[in-house]
Structure 1
Amino acid sequence: MISYPLGLLIYFWMFYYYPIFAHPVFIPQKNGESPDLNTGRTIAFRREFNHVIDYYRGKGGLRQFRYDLIHESVPDDIRPAVLSLMRKTRSTITRMPMKHLGFSIFNEHYSMVRSTSGTIREPSYAGLIRDAGRFVMHPELHDVLDEIGTLIIGHDSIIYGWADFTCSIARSHAPGSDLSREDMIALLHQAVDIPRDVGQVRRLLKRERAGGLRCVWSGREIRGDLNIDHALPYSLWQNNNLWNLLPVSAPVNSRKRDRIPTPGLIDRSAGRIREVWGLYAGNYGSQFYRELFEGLAVGRGGAAERARGTREPGGDVSGDFAVREAEGQSEIGRGDELDPAIGSLKQISAYLIDKRGFPEFDL
């Protein structure tokens, strides 16, 4: 069986629904849904979500909520509400679409996808990935979706279908509604509109230039402008994790643009990548190691679990890279202890190039 962290579904459900529920005009999400949260018919987790939205209104909204989840900094006074929202969202996913998917064909609940048990205990992204359990599907279904899924139910197809459905029920709810398809598409795209922020890394690397700083991909000393490259392109993943931000020269960055570094290039650059990661570990400690686990799935789960899933029936595949802390200080191990993370990056690179068809970059 193929499995992925169920927390990933919960995470993205929250971010796609947030701008819809936060909109000043009520936008129904099912036929007959009412804005009356006390006695009316409403989508399963809207009540829980409204508590969170009300709290973050005027405090940064969706972006601040996302930041707090990623950085494990949800304020104490809203933590119970966020935890309740996460648990309700998990229940909604597993008891509704997951349960009924495929029933009309196989006449059996959970016939195509099922979940393992899990109890979310921490209102954070890491808590979701760690505690929410996993969702499991047959290898045959996974392989079909892997090969042709983007052609049938690709991201844009889902977004456009969602927008069309919402506009249709909005008109039924309020004849004359001026909610347009374009309005809904713009709202849904807010879920992946993550600001590109590399300021802290740029300041650190500029301080390091005095001792000589090499371009990760070419190996040459950076003499001109220092550029910060998203190893896995920002346009693809919108990922500002420390491990994904690498120092490069301006000419190399101009050549790479939004292409994927090949596994061979990553392998040849591994020593320089480890040096930079060691610098991050020394300056940012647990933040670096947490993001390494969240982004490259090392320490818990298969090396390229985020991109490919694991063929274990539930549970995690144990890795050989662990985050170690002693007396509050992150222990920085030998460079070779980062090898599993390098291997994970290479596997994700191969998947994106070979299976998904993204353009490659090599020197």
Structure 2
Amino acid sequence: MNTVLKSISSSLPPFNISSGRTPMDISSLRTINSILERDAKDASYKFALLRGTIDVCQRYSHLREEADGRVRYPLGLLVERWVLYYYPIIESPEFIPQRSNESSDNSGGRQIAFRPAFKKVTDYYRDRGGFNAFWNEYRNGDISEEISSDVLRLFKSIRETIVTQPMKFIGRSRSDEYYSIYGYDKNGVRIRNDAYPDPEFVLENFGVFDIPADMCLAFEYFGSFISGEQSILENWADFSHTKSKQSIPKEHILTLLTTVPETERAVAMAQKVYRDAFREGPLECVWSGKMIRDATLMHVDHMLPFARWKNNDLWNLLPALDKVNGKKSDMIPSCSLLERREGIITDYWGQLSQVYPVQFEREVAISLLGKKPAEQGNWKEDAFANLVQKADYLIEVRGYEAWEWADA
């Protein structure tokens, strides 16, 4: 058994989750281990699917639907994850094989299915800011018409690869049936070729996928171990290193696999809102309640720290006194602190939504609500409740340190 999973499963006591979720069966961990160790490894698809599913289960609980022992999520979330994972690999000047016998000249005809479509996108952005520029434009709905049809084609190709390859074959080491673990809506998904690729469209039009509820729970609780060292990322790096005939150092591949796009633009946008607000007087520190007298004393703080929760959405960027933010560091605000500061948090959300209504609504809908704020009158209450839920998850499940403001 994989070293990490073995230590996890051997130390697990029987337990039940009081939140209404399905109690976790230890067999789900054995299934995950079997997939990692025994399922065929002809391409890196398996690693990408498992890693993506873990990310989705951990980040998007507000979009989960559960019935008959299975949980369902928008499939577009997986497609987005794959774009994030593979972009640095496809963009890399050194060719990094992602399938057995894959070569840069495609002499063996074994390229991963979406590499040609991906190459068009990475080539387009190579002199336009690269990975960071692409991801910021996609998230903000700013993809140029010049490349938008190619981006949509890439997303559709990745979706097709996901549902016809790893979803179909994962679990074959334990079952003779196809789709023995993953399911998806095989009928009724029609994606227009002239559609504009933005997060809302991908979320709403790429269908859904489902997995067993106990596996989802295992991913929520132990996904960080499963996708960390000696597991998915290590296996993926080993796979790519081997397929390159050891010409690409494994350490370099791991660096690419853990690369995330920089989104300083979002921080700058939030900072501008708060700097402009100083014209009306001091701002209130989101955590301490003390007045921030001028912009030189202000930090734009990630409520859920970026190091713990890779999120640069506007709703997650609020003003804090520099000294207070320094004390908070990468700790998670406690649920009680969030609840005490609910009023000022939602006030700042109102300011952000007034200045950047389209982007703010899109980000809140995807990351906190599952629907546009305009579609429900009490959106702030629901969004805040989901913020508290995510903080509680990071503290109680992921084990990150809680932070409670105390005036020193």
TM interval, shorter chain, is 0.7 to 0.9
- Residues 99-140 of structure 1: per-residue CA shift (max 9 Å, x gap): 111123121111111122534443122222222122211112
Listed as ranges, the matches of 1:1-363 within 5 Å are 1-37=70-106, 40-117=109-186, 118-120=189-191, 121-154=195-228, 157-171=231-245, 178-190=247-259, 192-197=260-265, 198-209=267-278, 210-223=280-293, 225-299=297-371, 321-323=373-375, 336-363=378-405
- Structure 1 residue 346: Cα displacement: 0.7
- Structure 1 residue 155: Cα displacement: 6.8
Specify whether residues 20 and 153 from structure 1 end up closer, same or farther in structure 2 by C-alpha distance, changes over 3 A only.
Answer: closer
SS at match of 1:3: strand
SS at match of 2:272: helix
Contact 2:75 2:206 survives alignment (8 Å): yes
Contact 1:259 1:360 survives alignment (8 Å): yes
SS at match of 1:2: strand
- Residues 276-312 of structure 1: per-residue CA shift (max 9 Å, x gap): 1111111111211111112213427xxxxxxxxxxxx
Query: Aligned partners of 1:181, 1:139: CA distance in 2, in Å?
Result: 34
Work out the number of aligned pairs and report it.
327
- Structure 1 residue 144: Cα displacement: 2.7
My pick for the range that moved more, 156-165 or 5-14, is: 156-165
Contact 2:369 2:382 survives alignment (8 Å): no
- Structure 1 residue 37: Cα displacement: 4.5
Q: TM-score, normalised by structure 1?
A: 0.84
- Structure 1 residue 15: Cα displacement: 2.1
Q: TM-score, normalised by structure 2?
A: 0.75
**Counterpart amino acid of residue 183 in structure 2:** R
Specify whether residues 291 and 188 from structure 1 end up closer, same or farther in structure 2 by C-alpha distance, changes over 3 A only.
Answer: same
Query: Aligned partners of 2:183, 2:275: CA distance in 1, in Å?
Result: 49
Contact 2:237 2:254 survives alignment (8 Å): yes
My pick for the range that moved more, 257-266 or 338-347, is: 257-266
SS at match of 1:232: coil
Contact 1:82 1:123 survives alignment (8 Å): yes
Contact 1:163 1:185 survives alignment (8 Å): yes
Specify whether residues 146 and 111 from structure 1 end up closer, same or farther in structure 2 by C-alpha distance, changes over 3 A only.
Answer: same
Contact 2:284 2:292 survives alignment (8 Å): yes
- Structure 1 residue 7: Cα displacement: 1.4
Query: Aligned partners of 1:340, 1:56: CA distance in 2, in Å?
Result: 37
- Residues 291-348 of structure 1: per-residue CA shift (max 9 Å, x gap): 1112213427xxxxxxxxxxxxxxxxxxxx4358xxxxxxxx7xx5411111110111
Query: Aligned partners of 2:200, 2:84: CA distance in 1, in Å?
Result: 16
Q: CA RMSD in A?
A: 2.1
Contact 1:18 1:62 survives alignment (8 Å): yes
Contact 1:194 1:238 survives alignment (8 Å): no
**Counterpart amino acid of residue 211 in structure 1:** G
SS at match of 1:136: strand
**Counterpart amino acid of residue 127 in structure 1:** F
**Counterpart amino acid of residue 180 in structure 2:** S
Structure 1: stretches of 5+ with no match in the other structure = 172-176, 301-320, 325-332
Structure 2: stretches of 5+ with no match in the other structure = 1-69
